[in-house]
């Protein structure tokens, strides 16, 4: 993994690497949010996704990269983090999916799964302890094997140091991945 290789070579200061990592997180999430807003979810229902994600990272924040992610995605640094359970997010997804006639945007669910998979790619501890749970959770949010493969391709692309854009050279299988990551219709 490019992040860990850079860390182990000793080149440059740790602070600089973490600053670059933080900037990369913000840049990627800003791109993934498209026209919907700023850093990883906003208020109301969106805060639930962010709270859930941040809660997942708290258990592993002894890793400096995970700690940066947890701080960066904390929904409100001035108050205690809301406890949000998986079941609540799964129910939000099912409510949206089953709502007739609604303009359905699954952007927040897609972002959440991207960042959960990204966390597993960054942290061996998260990978070893949580990857099966992340995959099961993604399945509950409508991800099949092809969609999960596409999300993993995007995570690998970013981890390798590439920048996501409409011109990214990633061969996605699903139209959802093309729409979400490449902003294609």
What is the tens place of the pLDDT at every residue in 26-65?
Answer: 889 888 877 544 444 444 555 667 777 777 788 887 888 8
- pLDDT at 155 (0 to 100): 96
By the 8 A CB rule, do 158 and 118 touch?
yes
Q: Which of residues 108 and 72 earns the better pLDDT score?
A: 108
Percentage of the chain beyond pLDDT 90 is 32
Mean pLDDT for the chain? 79
Kindly tell me if the per-residue pLDDT of 140 is higher than 50: yes
Distance of CA 160 to the CA centre of its chain: 16
Mean pLDDT of the region 72-80: 60
CA dihedral 83, 87, 88, 90 (to 10 degrees): 130
Q: Which of residues 105 and 168 earns the better pLDDT score?
A: 168
Kindly tell me if the per-residue pLDDT of 137 is higher than 80: yes
Mean pLDDT of the region 156-169: 92
- pLDDT at 72 (0 to 100): 73
Tokens read off for 20: 């670059």
pTM of the model: 0.81
- pLDDT at 122 (0 to 100): 92
- pLDDT at 181 (0 to 100): 93
- pLDDT at 43 (0 to 100): 44
Mean pLDDT of the region 101-118: 82
Rounded CA-CA distance 185/180 in Å is: 9
Kindly tell me if the per-residue pLDDT of 148 is higher than 50: yes
């Amino acid at each position: 993994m490019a992040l860990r290789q850079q860390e182990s070579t000793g080149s440059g200061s740790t602070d600089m690497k973490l600053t670059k990592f933080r900037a990369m997180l913000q840049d990627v999430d800003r791109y993934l949010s498209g026209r919907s807003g700023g850093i990883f979810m906003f208020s109301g229902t969106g805060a639930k996704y962010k709270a859930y994600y941040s809660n997942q990272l708290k258990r592993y924040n002894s890793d400096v990269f995970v700690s940066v992610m947890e701080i960066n995605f904390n929904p409100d640094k001035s108050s205690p983090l809301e406890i949000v359970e998986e079941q609540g997010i799964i129910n939000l997804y099912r409510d949206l999916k089953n709502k007739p006639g609604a303009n359905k945007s699954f952007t927040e669910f897609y972002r959440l799964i991207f960042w959960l998979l990204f966390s597993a790619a960054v942290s061996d501890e998260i990978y070893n302890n949580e990857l099966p749970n992340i995959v099961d959770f993604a399945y509950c949010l409508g991800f099949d094997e092809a969609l999960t493969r596409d999300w993993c391709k995007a995570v690998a692309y970013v981890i390798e140091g590439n920048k996501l854009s409409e011109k990214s050279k990633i061969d996605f299988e699903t139209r959802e991945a093309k729409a979400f990551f490449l902003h294609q219709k």
